[in-house]
Amino acid sequence: MKKIAIIGAGIGGMAAAYDLIRAGHRVTVFEASEQVGGLASGFKEPHWDWSVEKFYHHWFASDQHVLKLIAELGWRDRVIFPRPYTVMYYKGDFYPFDSITKAIQFPGLGWGVRKARFGLAGLYLKLTNNWQALEKHTVDAWMRRWAGDSVYELMWEPLMVGKFGDRYAKQVNMAWMWARLKARTTRLGTFKGGFQAFADLLAARLKEMGAQFRLSTPVNRLGVLQPEGGLELETPGGPETFDQCLVTTSPSLLARLAPDLPPRYLEGLLALKSMGAVVMVLALKQRLSEQGYYWYNLPKSAGFPYLALVEHTNFTSPEYFGGDHIVYIGDYLETDHEYFRLNQEELLGRFLPTLPRFNPRFSPDWVRKTWLFRTNYAQPVPLVNHSQNIPSIQTPIAGLYFASMSQVYPWDRGTNFAVEIGRRAAGIMLHAGS
């Protein structure tokens, strides 16, 4: 039996804890926040039955890792797959774009060579498994060559600029786009009660199995015990020693926590790029999208000051939220962007004038309440040949391991791949002790 620390009570850290405890080890989970769930955590008003995620989340029908874990825990009947509708903006209107049929009907592509090239490029990416060849090219260069300039500029460039900004939009490699098209489905799912309900249930199960949780307990530093071996964690309550430690935070935070890591590994961590996220959640008294649309993909070139608008209650019923209609307004941004400095009222002033574009009847008095959430670490930026830059799960310090969304590449961040890398890290840790 080993004494193991996990830093971060997100879904990945708790998935690792599940396997480590089942193998007979003692696990303590440290979390700086007052709740479990990490970036999938949520909040709840007194009159709501379900929680709302701080940063919008859903599962895809192909998310086998998280769905497998849920099935192991006996909660598969709590996962539901409603039928939401995703739309794209084109010349002042919104068009459904969440099926092959709708893509064929999308007016922006016309009916000639452009539509054919769009379809053939998408089909190739769906069928190929050779992502290693794709990562040698940028999305910008590959799509322009094979889908054509006009198709790329209409369909994909707005997504790239929206997610990665002008700085990185032309530098992201094509394996990232391949992974999105390869792994994702139009069928979307969620957990009854919200993602926070899932995280709370998972934490409760882990506690039943013997795990300890230290919420509101940030770890300030990781040190190596010499010569006896092991790791020492400095916390507000004093130092604690462990045989192994799994860190599930951002690369930059690991570098700060463990300055004794060898320079080459530290430099690799600090060289990784990522985008932050700013999300405003609105509780409206009335439905915004009269057509029932869930997800709006928005080009900033059309004057939208954010990447996406998501009407959550066109995915799950407003009856779960006391009749409130929940709308997310979100963007991926570099952390020096002004949205990280503006206060909630200032940001609301930027966003509200755009809502009549979704419903001309919209009035500011529809807004019952708003919430603002920001994080510096939300979307890794994979540059060309990114596979060569992924830090190993087993760090050069004996007993110290690292599992983050920056390591799930070529796949994209999300709770599904958080489960995958968390359980993969647990397997490596167990093997090291065998």
Total number of residues shown for the chain: 434
Q: Output the pTM of the full model.
A: 0.94
> If DSSP codes are grouped into helix, strand and coil, which group holds residue 171?
coil
Query: What rounded mean pLDDT belongs to the chain?
Result: 94
pLDDT digit string, tens, across residues 145-154: 999 998 899 8
Question: Does position 112 have pLDDT exceeding 90, yes or no?
Answer: no
Strands 3-7 and 42-43: unpaired
Neighbours of 183 (CB within 10 A): 17
CA atoms within 13 A on the CB side of 329: 24
Element (H, E) at 139: helix 139-146
Q: Give the range among 115-129, 191-205, 311-325 with minimum mean pLDDT.
A: 115-129
* Distance from chain centroid for Cα 243: 30
pLDDT of 163:
92
How many angstroms separate the CA atoms of 120 and 97, rounded? 17
For 211, residues 6+ apart whose C-beta sits below 8 A from its C-beta are 17, 21, 27, 28, 29, 203
Q: Which domains does the chain have, with CATH numbers?
A: 3-80+192-272+391-432 (3.50.50.60), 99-183 (no CATH), 274-381 (3.90.660.20)
pLDDT reported for residue 100: 64
Helix axes 139-146, 174-183, angle to 10 degrees: 70
Nearest by Cα to 330 from 398, 278, 272, 273: 278
For 56-103, the pLDDT digits (tens) are: 999 999 999 999 999 999 999 999 998 888 998 888 889 887 766 777
3-state secondary structure of 121: helix
3-state secondary structure 49-100: CCCEECCCCCEECCCHHHHHHHHHHCCHHHEECCCCCEEEEECCEEEECCCH
State how far the Cα of 340 lies from the Cα of 338, in Å rounded to an integer. 5
With pLDDT > 90 as the criterion, what percentage of the chain qualifies? 82
